[in-house]
């Protein structure tokens, strides 16, 4: 199988191909350059003199030939090559690496370069949106266009990647890591990244231990906590630290967080602090965790006063998501995960929102990958919540407040977030969208009405939101439209009280 680089104009396919080829001790081929050699003129001249159709036909033929040529190991395709059905088919036999860049970065890199398709910003944007969907569908591996020189690490991380599994290269300011998504990845294939060595100490909860406790092999120790949010406390962290020490875990070893968001947040926090920080691998087993909590490195525990109030940023060494394990997830837990899918789709807008609005299966590999990618792109640009990352908090200011005032017992995290989304959309004055979201929540078995909590107490509890600075107003994430979140919005207290009371009465 060849390594084939795809991506939009300006993504850096040639640079990444060179970086990969160097690591593999071979040379990189670039379809555009080969076409230019064959036609004897630059691509821009082919467009101008012979037209785009002539270029596409030469491009398709050259691409297919190179994909069949045993002398070629690393190949960079042109941005539009994947429009060809024959090329897409041929790519199925190879490892396809998508260099994913943001629209603005792409435009900054190529505007004024004289490329025929980069002259007008609006048509550039349309083309970008159209191609994004096909790149995402084809990609075995997704790497940020900001990590062109990381191909050697990426290649190490995909060693032994089972066919059908995908890998997203997570880039953050503090460290990069692979996030794998594949049906059967741990249950059947027992995949473990070659890049993560050391003895494995599993932290899990009682229910997950019974179902998947043996999927991680070999295992040098295991700590089992009680299932549920009430285990996400410092007292439980103490138990985990103590058990790890008793089992003889050292700094060369790794913690494996096997479970949902509760296990992930708690075990991640213990890994961040045990011996001042050891590596950990997230093996998320709930939908909440596979689409959201396992990525991004936020770890921590709750206080009785407020959620996630003590913790640390600590990126995992890898994430292994096996959607196969979601088959045993109880209905209510799937529903809870759906709320995070919905939140992510509202933030992402575009194709992900369209799919979710049209009723796409939230447990599908495509949806899980798209949600993970959305989150990772945000964290890449703002690991420590300086601004942009706060978009991920859509629906969470009120959601967390609901969890706190109900003692972390009445509502699951996702259920509370669903209610929080309704409040946020009310405050955003998007009534039609709010109704659409309420219908989607209800269709997935989620509550659309707040019960068992005093709305005024919920409003009081929002004052402890961690995004608040000093005595200032609580900053809300509001939405202008799907795909257009706004952070740091000030909401008048009256409007907030009315919006929370409304969801309590609806
Ligand atoms: P959870 O971890 O409590 O899991 C829910 C239940 O499902 C548990 O009873 C568990 O035993 C069971 N379970 C897990 N996997 C199963 C499987 N495959 N089959 C059958 N049962 C299974 O809850 P959650 O919803 O995964 O996580 C919620 C937590 O995640 C909250 O504390 C929330 O704050 C946190 N979170 C963190 C982040 C982050 O960025 N760190 C993001 C979102 C949510
Ligand atoms: Zn959440």
Nearest atom, ligand 1, residue 308 CA: 34
Asked if the model's pLDDT at residue 505 lies above 90, the reply is no
pLDDT value at residue 177: 98
**Any idea which ligand is nearest the CA of 293?**
1
State the average pLDDT over residues 121-138: 94
Cα 434 from Cα 490, distance rounded (Å) = 20
DSSP string covering 416-464: HHHHHHHHHHHHTT-HHHHHHHHHHHHHTT---S--SS-HHHHHHHHTT
Please give the Cα distance from 79 to 305 (Å, whole number).
Answer: 52
**Does the beta carbon of 288 sit less than 6 angstroms from any atom of ligand 1?**
yes
Say how far apart CA 283 and CA 296 lie, in whole Å: 14
How confident is the model at residue 474, as a pLDDT?
86
- Residue whose Cα lies nearest atom 29 of ligand 1: it is 261
pLDDT of residue 79: 93
Structure tokens at 409: 């017992």
What does the pLDDT look like over 406-431, one tens digit per residue? 999 999 999 999 999 999 999 999 99
| Residue of 185, 204, 226, 259 to test ligand 1 pocket, by largest number of atoms within 8 Å of CB | 259
Place of tokens 């990609």: 139
Report which ligand 1 atom has the smallest distance to the Cα of 300: 41
pLDDT at 467 over 80: no
Distance separating alpha carbons of residues 270 and 462, to the nearest angstrom: 27
d(CA 2, CA 74): 6
pLDDT of residue 168: 98
Cα angle 379, 382, 388; round to 5:
100
Least confident of 149-163, 224-238, 297-311, 469-483: 469-483
Q: Which strands form 221-225's sheet, in the order they lie side by side?
A: 28-30, 74-76, 3-7, 95-100, 141-144, 166-170, 177-181, 318-321, 279-284, 254-259, 200-205, 221-225
Separation of alpha carbons 22 and 251, rounded Å: 33
Token digits of residue 389: 């990352």
Q: What is the pLDDT of residue 352?
A: 95
Is the CB of 415 inside a 6 Å radius of any atom of ligand 1? Answer: no
Distance CA 213, CA 188 (A): 13
Question: 194-207: per-residue pLDDT in tens?
Answer: 999 999 999 999 99
Contact 108, 124 (CB under 8 A): no
Please choose from 263, 293, 394 the residue to mutate so as to test ligand 1's pocket, defined by most ligand atoms within 8 A of CB. Answer: 293
- State which of 265, 340, 415 you would mutate to test the pocket of ligand 1, scoring each by most atoms of that ligand within 8 A of its C-beta: 265
What are the E-state strand segments in 150-236? 166-170, 177-181, 200-205, 221-225
Share of the chain above pLDDT 70, in %: 100
pLDDT value of position 473: 80
Please report which confidence band the pLDDT of residue 398 belongs to, taking 50, 70 and 90 as the band edges.
very high
Residue 445 scores a pLDDT above 80: yes
| Whether the CB of 230 sits within 6 Å of ligand 1 | no
- How far away, in angstroms, is 288 Cα from ligand 1 center? 6
3-class secondary structure, 488: strand
What's the pLDDT at 274? 98
Check pocket membership of 321 for ligand 1, CB cut-off 6 A: no
Instruction: Give the residue-averaged pLDDT of 237-261.
Output: 98
- Please report the atom of ligand 1 found closest to the CA of residue 231: 3
233 lines ligand 1 (CB under 6 A): no
pLDDT at 114 over 90: no
* Average per-residue pLDDT for the chain: 95
Check pocket membership of 286 for ligand 1, CB cut-off 6 A.
Answer: yes
Residue 349 to residue 346: CA distance in whole angstroms: 5
Mean pLDDT value across residues 342-353 = 96
φ/ψ region of 150 (left if φ > 0, alpha if ψ in -120 to 50, else beta) reads alpha
**Across the strands, what pairs with 312?**
299
Expressed in percent and rounded to 5, the helix, strand and coil fractions of the chain are: 50, 15, 35
Query: Could you read off the pLDDT of 13-60 as tens digits, one per residue?
Result: 999 999 999 999 999 999 999 999 999 999 999 999 999 999 999 999
Q: Give me the pLDDT at residue 115, please.
A: 85
Lowest mean pLDDT among 135-144, 160-169, 250-259, 463-472: 463-472
pLDDT at 466: 74
Condensed to tens digits (0 to 9), the pLDDT of residues 260-284 reads 999 999 999 999 999 999 999 999 9
């Amino acid at each position: 199988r060849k390594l084939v680089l795809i991506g939009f104009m300006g993504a850096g396919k040639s640079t990444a191909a060179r970086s990969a080829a160097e690591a593999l001790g071979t040379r990189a081929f670039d379809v555009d350059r080969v076409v230019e050699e064959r036609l004897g003129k630059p691509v821009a001249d082919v467009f101008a003199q012979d037209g785009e159709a002539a270029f596409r036909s030469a491009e398709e033929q050259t691409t297919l030939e190179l994909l069949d040529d045993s002398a070629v190991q690393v190949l960079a395709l042109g941005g539009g090559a994947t429009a060809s059905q024959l090329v897409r088919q041929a790519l199925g036999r190879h490892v396809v690496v998508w260099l994913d860049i943001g629209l603005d970065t792409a435009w900054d890199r190529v505007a004024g370069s004289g490329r025929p398709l980069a002259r007008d910003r609006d048509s550039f944007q349309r083309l970008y949106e159209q191609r994004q969907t096909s790149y995402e569908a084809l990609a075995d591996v997704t790497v940020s266009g900001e990590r062109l020189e990381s191909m050697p690490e990426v290649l190490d991380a995909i060693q032994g990647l089972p066919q059908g599994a995908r890998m997203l290269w997570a880039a953050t300011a503090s460290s990069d890591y692979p996030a794998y998504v594949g049906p059967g990845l741990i249950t059947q294939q027992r995949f473990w990244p070659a890049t993560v060595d050391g003895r494995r100490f599993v932290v899990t909860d009682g229910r997950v231990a019974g179902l998947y406790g043996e999927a991680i092999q070999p295992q040098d120790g295991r700590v089992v906590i009680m299932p549920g949010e009430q285990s996400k406390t410092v007292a439980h962290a103490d138990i985990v630290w103590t058990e790890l020490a008793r089992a003889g875990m050292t700094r060369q070893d790794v913690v494996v967080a096997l479970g949902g968001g509760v296990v992930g947040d708690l075990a991640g926090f213990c890994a961040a602090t045990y011996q001042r920080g050891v590596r950990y691998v997230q093996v998320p087993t709930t939908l909440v965790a596979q689409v959201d909590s396992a990525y991004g490195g936020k770890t921590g525990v709750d206080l009785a006063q407020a959620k996630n109030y003590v913790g640390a940023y600590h990126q995992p060494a890898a994430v292994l998501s096996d959607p196969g394990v979601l088959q045993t997830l109880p209905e209510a837990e799937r529903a809870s995960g759906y709320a995070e899918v919905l939140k992510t789709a509202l933030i992402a807008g575009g194709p992900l929102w369209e799919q979710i609005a049209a009723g796409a299966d939230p447990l599908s590999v495509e949806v899980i990958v798209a949600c993970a990618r959305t989150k990772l792109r945000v964290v890449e640009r703002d690991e420590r919540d300086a601004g942009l990352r706060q978009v991920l908090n859509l629906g969470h200011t009120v959601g967390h407040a609901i969890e706190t005032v109900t003692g972390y017992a009445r509502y699951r995290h996702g259920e509370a977030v669903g209610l929080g989304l309704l409040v946020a959309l009310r405050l955003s004055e998007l009534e039609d969208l709010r109704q659409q979201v309420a219908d989607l929540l209800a269709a997935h078995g989620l509550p659309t009405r707040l019960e068992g909590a005093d709305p005024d107490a919920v409003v009081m509890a929002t004052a402890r939101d961690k995004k608040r600075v000093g005595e200032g107003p609580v900053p809300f994430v509001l939405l202008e439209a799907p795909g257009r979140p706004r952070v740091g919005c000030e909401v008048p207290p009256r409007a907030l009280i009315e919006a929370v009371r409304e969801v309590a009465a609806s």
